[in-house]
Amino acid sequence: MSIDRVCCRLLVIGALLAMMLGVTSFGLPLVHAQEFEIEVVKENVYLPWSLNFAPDGRLFFTSRDTGEIHALDVTTGDLVTFTPRLPARAGGEGGLLGMELDPDFAQTGVLYVCYSTATQYLPVIRALNTTAVAHAWPATSDLAVNRLSRLVLSGTQLRDEQVLFTMPHGPRHNGCRVLVSPDERYLFISMGDAAEDDRAQNLNSLSGKILRINRDGSIPADNPFPGSPIWTLGHRNPQGLAFQPDTGWLWSTEHGPDTRDELNIIKKGENYGWPICLGVQPTCSVANYEPAVREFYSDRTIAISDLVFYTGSAFAQWQGDIFFVTLKTGRLYRLEVDGEEVVQEEILVNNTYGRLRDIAVGPDSYIYFSTDALDKAKILRMKPVS
């Protein structure tokens, strides 16, 4: 493992300069700087889209374009790849995307995945490498779907796939973040508009929605639209979901078009405005409109990806803060929130590693994040300077 201290010292100097000025570059007060270092935990992996820590401490991750699920020992670097690979249809923004381990995973091996697939496959060897077999687009694109499945991991074998439901697929905006609620009753799934923006306002389409189902795939009786898994609507491409520990609120990050990536608090039955209204715009013509808590930014996007609330002892002063990563700007942000307001914001990593895809807090309370490279991707961790 290598330690990349150079970036961190530069960042700390930047933070100290900002402290001397008394503000961050975004005009919010900067209260304190925390020194950290970043280690490469694993390199040369295929686009790790979803990072999930298992009860035994291993880091499970999906590889978007190979359709594989891996388990990484973050101490030794040993990597196990489960079989078979899933019939994920890589291409555009699709492939094997989100994953969540069931609360009973240690006993049952049950996990959930959200991935792009097709009802007919044409196996091909992609240019990726000779072992990475993906599946070509079928001749008729209508055959492609995004699928939420329940699987059982037994040893190193994935078996008993049960498709809970399917959603429209698009070349872009396939959402697919999956999260179990803190009360362990529900699965929340984010779904993009599949590049058809009008679908986000259509309650007959699962595109452009955040969905809630019971863990067995059934629809909760108290969902806001009876008989439908739809929990909220009016989303463009939400690819981050996280529950806030102290409030139990569900927060989400969402890609804006060419401006205004969003941070939202997800409230039952609310309409987040897309494609009619954007960002923190306070009012909108749609019913039950909920503006974003914060937008990044009014004149550009950062390509916001997944978020997590920090819990743990390694960075005691960051307890309860939001951390999220970004794609095209390659950033790791930290936000402190108070109620529905962001009161502090800083950029801890600024394109040192290229595009960043997912973020998770490990059982060691270090912050893990992945780069978005097709191959030669890295899994990194941030820890206090020792």
Looking at the Cβ atoms of 110 and 360, the one nearer to Ca ion is 360
Which of these segments, 6-14, 124-132, 300-308, 318-326, binds Ca ion (CB under 5 A)?
300-308
The values of phi and psi at residue 361, to 5°, are -100, 130
Task: Please report, to the nearest 10 degrees, the dihedral formed by the alpha carbons of residues 242, 371, 7, 296 taken in order.
Answer: -50
Question: 62 forms bridges with which residues in the sheet?
Answer: 69
The answer to whether 58 and 71 are in contact (CB under 8 A) is yes
Least distance from Ca ion to the Cβ atom of residue 271, Å: 9
The least CB distance from residue 385 to Ca ion, in Å, is: 24
Rounded Cα distance between 100 and 110, Å, is 9
Residue 272 makes contact with Ca ion by CB under 5 A: yes
Can you tell me which of 192, 229, 273, 330 binds Ca ion, judged by CB under 5 A? 273
Letters for 217-256 (x = contact with Ca ion by CB under 5 A, - = none) are ----------------------------------------
Q: Which stretch binds Ca ion (CB under 5 A): 168-176, 195-203, 243-251, 267-275?
A: 267-275
**CA distances from residue 200 to 171, 206, 225, 270, 356 in whole angstroms, order as listed:** 16, 8, 15, 12, 26
In this chain, which of 306, 336, 345, 346 binds Ca ion, going by CB under 5 A? 306
Please say which residue, 170 or 208, places its beta carbon nearer to Ca ion. Answer: 208
Q: Show Cβ contacts of residue 175 under 8 Å, excluding neighbours closer than 6 positions.
A: 97, 114, 146, 167, 189, 190, 191, 192, 235, 237, 238, 239
CA distance 235 to 304: 14
Q: Is 329 left (phi over 0), alpha (psi -120 to 50) or beta?
A: alpha
Supply the minimum distance, in Å, between the C-beta of residue 41 and Ca ion: 15
Q: Is residue 98 within the footprint of Ca ion (CB under 5 A)?
A: no
53 interacts with Ca ion by CB under 5 A = no
Nearer to Ca ion, 137 or 368 (CB): 368
Q: Does residue 360 touch Ca ion according to CB under 5 A? A: yes
Q: Is 142 helix (H, G, I), strand (E, B) or coil?
A: helix
Residues 320-359 that bind Ca ion (CB under 5 A): 358
Residues that bind Ca ion (CB under 5 A): 272-273, 306, 358, 360
